[in-house]
């Protein structure tokens, strides 16, 4: 169905979504059909004229449509509104440099995977930083259509900022299609998600399979347990107390809820794009090294293999056939 858009006066604040991937598109449609003012900004393209694009989202048996404005950061002198980062986290250093003259006081919300991905913005002096742990999956169907599945409300917490601004962010972003909630202990949630991502984003691409493999195949689940055990040792060094059972429960829940869906890293490899494995398995390995922890060999090896596979996919051949090594 095609939505009739009437901007809701209760939410006058502009929302800028940086990135043009599947999550950005799903979120832009969800917010727009609920009356929010949304613009997608291309973070890596400068001096691009703004244009409007029709985007569709498949949710269960419905197809939702909204016309979304797409522009570039360079088209703005200032960005006065909520800024959502859905771009790949490996671009954050460059992005922080681009935004520090335009949006240093604006609330920045990271909707990205990875460990310590906020550091470039902290180092650049941003004062309003919030971290969202996405509990949703989205997959490209065509250039202008994505398939979206909500797993659970996505928690948002304060990295630097205030609970008052956090409440405004959650109230503004929350819709019945794409739900959000406040989270006081966001660091524990971040680590649980990072560890889960170290499992999904390395094992699934290497096996060329979907997220459901962990609840379908016990041998693969055993490899996941090895990765989790290694990551929990590193998390403890950072004051994060998590248990094997709680992380495995999360992995199996996501596996069942997103059965048949391809994890983002696998989608990136298939589409010959750079992956975020540097801020997942390889970031855990780096954090382990800093803290004198040596036994993260499986986590590190899986990360290195994904990195190599990604590089090969971008260097040789076309499409999925290039991945048959």
Are 136 and 241 in the same domain? no
pLDDT of the residue at 323: 37
Are 235 and 302 in the same domain? yes
Are 179 and 211 in the same domain? no
Are 279 and 249 in the same domain? yes
> By the 8 A CB rule, do 149 and 138 touch?
yes
pLDDT in tens, 214-232: 999 999 999 999 999 999 9
Are 159 and 215 in the same domain? no
- Residue 10 in domain: no
- Residue 80 in domain: yes
Are 178 and 194 in the same domain? no
Q: What is the CATH number of the domain that holds 92?
A: 3.40.50.720
Model confidence at 7: pLDDT above 80: no
Are 45 and 174 in the same domain? yes
Over residues 177-197, mean pLDDT = 96
Are 22 and 118 in the same domain? yes
Among residues 184, 217, 245, which one ends one of the domains?
184
Structural domain boundaries enclosing 226: 188-315
- Residue 237 in domain: yes
Model confidence at 236: pLDDT above 50: yes
- Residue 8 in domain: no
Write the DSSP symbol of residue 100. T
- Residue 320 in domain: no
- Residue 151 in domain: yes
Model confidence at 282: pLDDT above 60: yes
pLDDT of the residue at 1: 42
Q: How far apart are CA 131 and CA 101, in angstroms?
A: 21
Assign 8 a pLDDT band (cuts: 50, 70, 90): low
Long-range contacts of 97-103 (CB under 8 A, 24+ apart): 97/124, 98/43, 98/73, 99/73, 99/126, 100/124, 100/125, 100/126, 102/73, 102/76, 102/77, 102/78, 103/78, 103/79
Q: Mind giving me the DSSP string for 90-145?
A: GGHHHHHHHHTTT-TTS-EEE---SSSTTHHHHHTT-S-EEEE---EEEEEEETTE
pLDDT of the residue at 257: 86
Are 52 and 157 in the same domain? yes
pLDDT of the residue at 11: 60
Are 103 and 226 in the same domain? no
pLDDT of the residue at 140: 86
pLDDT of the residue at 4: 43
Domain count of the fold of the chain:
2
pLDDT in tens, 30-74: 999 999 999 999 877 888 899 999 999 999 889 999 999 999 999
pLDDT in tens, 110-148: 999 999 999 999 999 999 999 999 988 888 899 899 999
302: its two tokens: 């899986």
Are 150 and 247 in the same domain? no
- Residue 2 in domain: no
Are 52 and 178 in the same domain? yes
- Residue 81 in domain: yes
pLDDT of the residue at 249: 96
């Amino acid at each position: 169905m095609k939505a009739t858009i009437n901007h809701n006066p209760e939410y006058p604040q502009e929302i800028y979504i940086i990135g043009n991937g599947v999550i950005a598109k799903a979120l832009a449609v969800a917010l727009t059909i609920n009356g929010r003012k949304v613009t997608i900004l291309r973070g890596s393209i400068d001096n691009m004229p703004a244009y409007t694009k029709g985007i569709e989202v498949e949710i269960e048996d419905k197809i939702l449509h909204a016309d979304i404005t797409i522009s570039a950061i360079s088209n703005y002198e200032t960005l006065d509104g909520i800024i959502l980062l859905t771009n790949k986290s490996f671009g954050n250093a460059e992005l922080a440099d681009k935004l520090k003259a335009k949006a240093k006081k604006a609330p920045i919300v990271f909707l990205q995977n990875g460990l310590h991905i906020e550091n470039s913005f902290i180092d650049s002096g941003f004062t309003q930083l919030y971290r969202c742990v996405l509990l949703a999956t989205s997959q490209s169907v065509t250039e202008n259509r994505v398939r979206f599945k909500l797993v659970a409300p996505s928690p948002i917490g304060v990295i630097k900022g205030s609970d008052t601004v956090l409440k405004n962010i959650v109230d503004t972003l929350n819709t019945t299609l794409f739900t959000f909630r406040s989270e006081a202990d966001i660091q524990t949630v971040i680590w649980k998600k990072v560890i889960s991502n170290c499992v999904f984003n390395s094992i699934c691409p290497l096996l060329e399979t979907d997220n459901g493999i962990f609840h379908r195949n016990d041998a693969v689940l055993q490899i996941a347990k090895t990765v989790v055990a290694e990551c929990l040792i590193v998390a403890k060094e950072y004051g994060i107390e998590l248990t094997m059972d709680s992380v495995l429960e999360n992995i199996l829940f996501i596996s069942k809820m997103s059965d048949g869906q391809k994890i983002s890293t696998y989608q990136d490899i298939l589409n010959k794009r750079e992956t975020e494995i540097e801020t997942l398995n390889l970031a855990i390995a780096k954090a382990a090294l800093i803290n004198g922890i040596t036994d993260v060999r499986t986590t590190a090896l899986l990360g290195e293999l994904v990195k190599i596979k990604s590089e090969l996919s971008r260097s040789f051949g076309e499409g999925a056939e290039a991945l048959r090594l």
